[in-house]
Amino acid sequence: MSQTPAPEGITYASAGVDTAAGDRAVELMKASVAATMTPAVVGGVGGFAGLVDVSDLRSYRRPLLATSTDGVGTKVAVAQALDVHDTIGQDLVGMVVDDIVVVGARPLLMTDYIACGHVVPERVADIVRGVANACAAVGTPLLGGETAEHPGLMGPDDYDVAGAATGVVEADRVLGAEKVRDGDVLIAMGSSGLHSNGYSLVRRVIEHAGWGLERHVDELGRTVGEELLEPTRLYTRVCLAMLDALSTDAAPSPIHALSHVTGGGLAANLARVLPAGLVADVDRSSWLVPPVFDMVRRLGEVPWDDLEGTLNLGVGMIAVVDPEVADAVLHLAGGSGMPAWVLGAVHDAASYQSVGRVVSGTKGVDGGSVDVYGEYRTA
């Protein structure tokens, strides 16, 4: 008597998860990740957890660990549309590690996480290569990561990325609002473009204008897509170099605060590192707004106030410094190839008369204020 063959059961693969592709992705990214390892890293790639030797922390009087986590927002939609995936890794590192250095911390390690609808090994390896190259550029080991396949929750070509970093800073060397004084000078460091914030606005403007990502724009000198994928500038090395060069054990650091200009724009992020009772003035005419920002404004008829509260407009990091070292900070930045200029100064709010748009109480911080005045200069 013949028997009816048993129906084939449901497997992990038929449910949409390809573990072999995941293993292939790991093999493709191993060399890039290995290149980020420093002598402090213990073990290799593939462990359940990454290990880093922190014996050097025994020389700290009171070491504090700093941590940050972030993603790159809807900039991934541009990468997916263009099928270019090896640049957003730098955006991820910039969004995470440059938040660590803001408190004066030296990054010890970074980890990343990629969620996707379907693992394409080459695509995942491209993303991780971008993360690894940026980690190597700032001297931070990419100590671990995870790639998760989510069929049914995400489309086959969809993915998102996130990362986290940990750093260390001596307790009496922490930068922040409590160090800022009346008379301090604001030193701006230029951005490389849009960085990784405000892309919901930018993408909506491009779509509304009917422009394709492949459109060449003379004022940009390249296509829209190439401009939108320009990686976030990394500030960690230059900021740490400034702190190392200008700080001594015998005296407080003359660099009092750093502000990473990300979501919310320049004024909102600068206000986070100012104490109550002080106000910083920012002269809009002190720099030339890069063409991409004015392009977004004109295409979408975006009001300047909205643009200012969303995008960096050409300023990626701000150092709040003692006036005696302002020239030294500018020199150190220039020597590192970082465009920098005097943006404004800090004043006692009681004796300061605001003349522009005042921003305060941002990001849940009840601190100082920023007075943004004047007119932007565009090319």
Residue 379 lies in a domain: no
Is 205 domain-assigned? Answer: yes
pLDDT confidence of residue 365: 78
Whether residue 1 has pLDDT greater than 60: no
| Least confident residue range of 17-26, 123-132, 278-287 | 17-26
- 156 within some domain: yes
Give the range with max mean pLDDT: 23-27, 265-269, 362-366.
Answer: 265-269
| Confidence grade of residue 121 (pLDDT, cut at 50, 70, 90) | confident
At which residue do the structure tokens 């779509």 appear?
207
- Position 28 in a domain: yes
Residues 166 and 199 in one domain: no
Is residue 1, in this structure, part of any structural domain at all? no
Tokens of 77: 């939609």
- pLDDT of 7 above 70: no
* pLDDT, mean over the chain: 91
Which range of residues forms the domain containing residue 244? 177-373
53 or 141, which is more confident? 141
Q: Are residues 313 and 334 in the same domain?
A: yes
Out of 149, 170, 191, a domain closes at: 170
- What pLDDT score does 306 carry? 95
Query: How confident is the model over 33-46, as a mean pLDDT?
Result: 74
Share of the chain above pLDDT 70, in %: 93
Averaged pLDDT for residues 359-371: 86
The answer on 200 and 129 residing in a single domain is: no
Beta bridge partners of 67: 166
Residue 23 has pLDDT above 90, yes or no: no
Q: What is the CATH number of the domain that holds 292?
A: 3.90.650.10
- The residue-averaged pLDDT of 121-150 equals 92
AA letter at 75? K
Question: What pLDDT is recorded for position 88?
Answer: 96
Q: Are 147 and 210 in the same domain? A: no
User: How many Å apart are CA 91 and CA 230, to the nearest integer?
Assistant: 9
The answer to whether the beta carbons of residues 138 and 237 sit under 8 Å apart is: yes
Domain termination residue (choose one: 138, 154, 170): 170
Q: Does 165 lie in the same domain as 313?
A: no
Q: Largest alpha-carbon pair distance within the chain? A: 101
Assigned token pair, 38 = 């420093």
Q: Among 15-29, 144-158, 163-177, where is mean pLDDT lowest?
A: 15-29
What was the pLDDT predicted at 208?
95
Is 72 a residue whose pLDDT tops 90?
yes
The pTM for the full model equals: 0.92
Whole-number pLDDT of residue 6: 52
Is the same domain home to 340 and 249?
yes
Planar angle of CA 342, 233, 208, nearest 5 degrees = 100
Q: What integer pLDDT is reported at residue 29 of this predicted model?
A: 64
Quick one: 112 and 157 in the same domain?
yes
* 206 and 337 both lie in a single domain: yes
- Average pLDDT of span 131-154: 92
Do 111 and 259 belong to one domain? no
What is the reported pLDDT for 128? 93
- Which region among 68-77, 139-148, 212-221, 300-309 has the lowest average model confidence (pLDDT)? 139-148
Rounded (10°) angle between helices 75-82 and 199-209: 50
> pLDDT at residue 254 above 80?
yes
Q: Same structural domain for residues 152 and 248?
A: no
* 6 assigned to some structural domain: no
Given a cut of 70, whether residue 45 has pLDDT beyond it is: no
Give 260 or 49, the one with higher predicted confidence.
Answer: 260
Residue 47 lies in a domain: no
Tens digits of residue pLDDT in 274-331:
999 999 999 999 999 999 999 999 999 999 999 999 999 999 999 999 999 999 999 9
User: Among residues 170, 205, 227, which one ends one of the domains?
Assistant: 170
Nearest CA among 88, 80, 311 for reference residue 193: 311
* Cα–Cα dist 229/303, whole Å: 24
The per-residue pLDDT for range 187-205, each reduced to its tens digit, is 999 999 999 999 999 999 9
User: Look-up: residue for tokens 């020199």?
Assistant: 331
Q: Are residues 237 and 366 in the same domain?
A: yes
**What is the model's pLDDT at position 49?**
80
What is the spatial distance between Cα 17 and Cα 256, in angstroms, rounded to a whole number? Answer: 50
Regarding whether 258 and 201 lie in a shared domain, the answer is yes
Nearest to 234 by CA among 332, 100, 108: 100
pLDDT value of position 158: 93
Domain count, the chain: 2
Q: What is the CATH number of the domain that holds 139?
A: 3.30.1330.10
Residue 53 counted as domain residue? no
